[in-house]
Amino acid sequence: MKQSAKPLESFKLSEQAKGIQDRLSAKIQSELFKQDGKIPFSQFMQMALYEPGLGYYQNNLHKFGEKGDFITAPEMGSNFAKCLARSIRQFFHDSPSTEPTPSRVLLEIGAGSGILAVNLLMELEQLDALPDQYLILEPSAQLKNQQKSLLKKRLPDYFSNIEWISQLPEKLQGLILANEVVDAIPCERVRRVDGQWRQLGVSYANGDFNDCLMTPVDVDDLPSLLSRECGENCYPDDYTTEYRPLAKGWIKALANSLDSGAILLIDYGYSESEFYHLQRVQGSLRCFISHHSHSQPLQYVGLQDITAHVDFSQIARIAYENALEISGYTSQAGFLLENGITEISDERAQNQTPEQRYQTSQELQKLLMPGQMGEVIKVILLSKNLETQIKGFTLQDHLHRL
């Protein structure tokens, strides 16, 4: 996601945005009222992002791309999708097409604007590896409509093979893909206070939502690094971080749905030891509004994205507990380079204007540079009865870090 140095105070809100903010704030306040004035942060984040009609991903304000709040890798151009297509090409090319249950199914979770589906399917067609069916699981009614109109316009011949589903299918044979979805699953926040972990909640006073301390956390619920007995490396008071209990049910549901094939999750994140590093005293929670990145989730309710990085060790552990194999873990840069991003862009450059070549080089820098998306975004491959190779995990094999 792109950041800029715009000061937070400078946003002028439209009347529509103000209306959404006011109505959503009132709903959250009424929830607070029912729960003695405090709700867990995860409940606030759930409502701020997903409250029907009002939450950030549910309202009809613009979100993706230059005119929105942030830019994801597939929104920057088609190189990300082209590499992804090369990674999964063999899977769809080699699997036999079966009837009546298709075995070459690609399920995208949280498809955003729909642009990844467009570019991925176009490239898979070029590579003679189109899936029989492309499923999209998207909880946002507004984004679903946006995806439908984009895909209908850009892929009219394939459109009848695309289906929007509202729950995970049973016995899926194929591939599940989610780019920047896990970081949008609500998380809990905890803070070290007087040598104890306290859950951070949300309260309301004098027109503002505020952080508040909830009861001490049961250490068995915490990531193991946080719950270990503290020696001299004990986390200091005020150390604030996040963890994501909801990931457990989410991964379990994917594992149960998959009969054979693979799950590719691409997201901002680290292994547990990097995530809960002693120096990461403020955690990873970030908010995005008009390409401004900040760490104040209680502001601009319903008008900004709220994300927290993914603990990939947690994802791997849950996957293992649910009979999935952890088949690969790498950085976005490693994944894209192994799938030929430089060769793809060099080849395209031959037919491009200088301006287009400049844009491609900007795109590649953002996707690959360590200070941008190259290192902090990771790709994990989980699988079940997988017989073909998914490419991209040998150039920079980070499995040992999990």
Ligand X SMILES: C[S@@+](CC[C@H](N)C(=O)[O-])C[C@H]1O[C@@H](n2cnc3c(N)ncnc32)[C@H](O)[C@@H]1O
74 binds ligand X (CB under 6 A): yes
214-222: long-range pairs with CB below 8 Å, 24+: 214/38, 214/40, 217/190, 221/245, 222/190, 222/197
Nearest to ligand X of 214, 310 (CB atom): 310
Using CB atoms, what's the residue nearest to ligand X?
A: 110
User: Residues with Cβ < 8 Å from 67, sequence gap 6 or more?
Assistant: none
Q: How far is the CB of 104 from ligand X (least distance, A)?
A: 21
The CA–CA distances, whole Å, from 229 to 188, 213, 235, 325 equal: 21, 22, 10, 30
103 binds ligand X (CB under 6 A): no
User: Residues with Cβ < 8 Å from 20, sequence gap 6 or more?
Assistant: 54, 59, 61, 302, 303
Q: How far is the CB of 15 from ligand X (least distance, A)?
A: 25
55 binds ligand X (CB under 6 A): no
Query: 114-143: which residues touch ligand X (CB under 6 A)?
Result: 116, 137-140, 143
Tell me how many residues contact ligand X (CB under 6 A): 19
Q: How far is the CB of 229 from ligand X (least distance, A)?
A: 34
And the tokens for 182? 């896990």
Query: 254-283: which residues touch ligand X (CB under 6 A)?
Result: none
- Which residue stretch of 173-181, 324-332, 336-344, 392-400 sits at the interface with ligand X (rule: CB under 6 A)? 173-181
* Member of 120, 184, 214, 319 binding ligand X (CB under 6 A): 184
Nearest to ligand X of 32, 377 (CB atom): 377
> Rounded to an integer, what distance in angstroms lies between the CA atom of residue 44 and that of residue 47?
5
Query: H/E/C letters for each residue in 315-327?
Result: HHHHHHHCCCEEE
Q: How far is the CB of 88 from ligand X (least distance, A)?
A: 16
Q: How far is the CB of 233 from ligand X (least distance, A)?
A: 34
Nearest to ligand X of 138, 311 (CB atom): 138
User: H or E element: which one contains 273?
Assistant: helix 272-275
Nearest to ligand X of 155, 214 (CB atom): 155
**Is the Cβ–Cβ distance between 110 and 72 less than 8 Å?**
no
| Other beta carbons less than 10 A from residue 23's beta carbon | 15
> Rounded to an integer, what distance in angstroms lies between the CA atom of residue 268 and that of residue 377?
4
Chain residues that interact with ligand X, rule: CB under 6 A:
57, 72, 74-75, 109-112, 116, 137-140, 143, 179-181, 184-185
